[in-house]
Chain A
Amino acid sequence: MSDRRIIPIGPYHPLQEEPELFRLEVDGETVVDLDVEVGWNHRGIEKLCETKTYDQVPFVVERICGICSTSHPLAYVQAVEDAGNIEVPERALYIRTLVAELERLHSHLLWVGLAGHFLGYNTVWMWSWKYREPILDICETVTGNRNHYAMMKVGGVRRDILPEHVDYILSRLPEIEKFADLIKGAVLDDPVLHARLKGVGVMTADDIHDYGAVGPTSRASGVPGDVRRDDPYAAYGLVDWDVICVPQGDVFAKAVVRVLEMYETIKIIKGCLEKMPAGEIDSKPKVVAPGEGIGRHEAPRGEVFHYVRSDGTNRPIRHKIRAPTYVNLPTYKTSVIGESITDATIILAAIDPCYCCTERMAVYKHKGDPNEPIMTGSDLVRLSQEKTARLRKEFGL
């Protein structure tokens, strides 16, 4: 008798924030195939953006995803600026970088927490979310909201950073560095996590190239891709920082990349605050000249891609959006097959999936007998009883 079974995760599942359906085909406890169905969260934002003006679109793309809520507007305004050859004042570039890095900081902490939760290590979850709050406080002070900052606009930024904000951020940074040390200790020095995450869900550099994966997913497999360095924008070429890249490719490596990146982020924030010049924050462009442009930003999860085509009117005639999870999620198929079912969730969590960004997937091939039924609750009870009976016999109870 074949032990091939299908275990559905979703569309509504306690581990997931958003609806998404994964059908894991398991043989015993080993995952042998996978089928993912997306589209539950598909809203048609690309179409919606064609009906909005250039100044309205940042508010729409901000709401693609609440966690990358400054990444999408940043990539979008860069695409429009590329299409219309619009200049941006230098101070605005620094403010963009600063807000984007604050977002990366809280997003990585959020990931560490959720990864801990997926592993049943709720202490890490509570800790990292507790220490995420001071960063949200900074965001609220500087931008006016905890998330959805509404800072980006074509030609510059909407709000200036005041001198007292600079002092406030600087006064809170040492505390945040201390939290980063704590999280680093809790995650990277924990023997249980080493045992649980090392060698799990390994992806090679070739897999990364095949799937075009981006962000920490690629940098944990020895592919040092980072748009901030490869194609510098905003103030990333003007401050000092390093790309974190490790070769192992397993889940632990992804955690290492994200935790160490928090230190680089703090470095960038400090650099921005030091070097930020005085001056205008908005070049106030009146029209977007006809043309096409591409804007990219390294979001916490990887490269965000926006393509905008303008015909000289006040709204884009085509706006294409590609979020990082769109290319990272298909890699789940290579990383999870052959692994144990208990590791399936953390391997998925390792790419930091964001379905609201992606919203797009279904790969399902039934390798066994196509007539074989999906297990019901009573079948599982029966299986469990059979196993207990077998074990009792084995141990002579």
Chain B
Amino acid sequence: MIEDIVKEIKKAVGKWIKGVTIKNSQRVYIDIDPAGVREVATYLWKDRGARYSIATAIDNRTNFEVQHHLSLDREGGAMVSLRSILDRDKPSMPSLAPVIKASDWIEREMSELMGIEFVGHPDMRRLLLSSEHWPEGVYPLRKDFKA
């Protein structure tokens, strides 16, 4: 079942896919090229009717990782995570917000707390921390952050 879905995803947007890990019938991790994140996510969200759940940004010390989690509510409830690996020095990837409204806040949050740039985001302002109490360029969720 989940294997069939993965096959279909590969057929539709295979050119951006670098690898697939099927952890179990409900959890799939797809490694993608960051440049194609909008195409892959739009395919899942629009064509397959997946619900955009949230994104996670991870500081791996050598690089940054962004995972967009989409839930295939209409096809067995599996969680598909699109993994993009970003450069450590200047992390940047295309924004999903112009297509998927649900990603608006989380991209602002990731940019604010992790320092990842989302190119093409319509409204990139701070979300949680106020500029009066928090300096620019200090990202609390990074591993090298010291309070």
Chain A interfacial positions (CB closer than 8 Å to B)? 38-39, 42, 44, 46-47, 82, 209-212, 214, 225, 227, 229-231, 292-294, 296, 303, 305, 307, 309, 318, 320, 322, 326-327, 330, 359-363
Contacts and interface: CB of A to CB of B under 8 A. Distances in A.
B127 A39 contact: yes
Contacts of A229: 77
Contact of A305 (B26, B53, B78, B140): B53
Interface of B: 23, 26-27, 29, 49, 51-54, 56, 58-59, 67, 69, 71, 73, 76-79, 81, 100-102, 104-106, 109, 123, 125-130, 140-141, 145
B54 A320 contact: yes
A327 B56 contact: no
15 contacts: A39-B126, A39-B129, A210-B100, A210-B101, A211-B102, A212-B52, A225-B51, A231-B77, A305-B53, A305-B69, A320-B56, A327-B102, A359-B128, A360-B109, A362-B126
Given A307-B69, A320-B56, A230 B127 contact: no
B105 A210 contact: no
For A210, A212, A360, the residue with the greatest tally of chain B CB atoms inside 10 Å of its CB is: A212
A360 B127 contact: yes
A303 B53 contact: yes
A209 B69 CA distance: 15
B68 to A, nearest CB: 11
A324 to B, nearest CB: 11
A210 B102 contact: yes
A294 B81 contact: yes
Contacts of B78: 231
A209 B51 contact: yes
A42 B128 contact: yes
Contacts of B130: 39
Nearest to A227: B77
Given A230-B77, A330-B104, A360-B128, A212 B58 contact: no
Contacts of B51: 209, 212, 214, 225
Nearest to A334: B101
Contacts of A330: 101-102, 104-105
A361 B127 contact: yes
Given A230-B73, A307-B69, A39 B128 contact: yes
A113 to B, nearest CB: 29
**9 tightest CB-CB pairs across the interface, nearest first?**
A230-B77, A212-B102, A231-B77, A39-B128, A320-B56, A322-B54, A42-B128, A212-B52, A210-B101
A361 B105 contact: yes
Contacts of A296: 79
Nearest to B128: A39
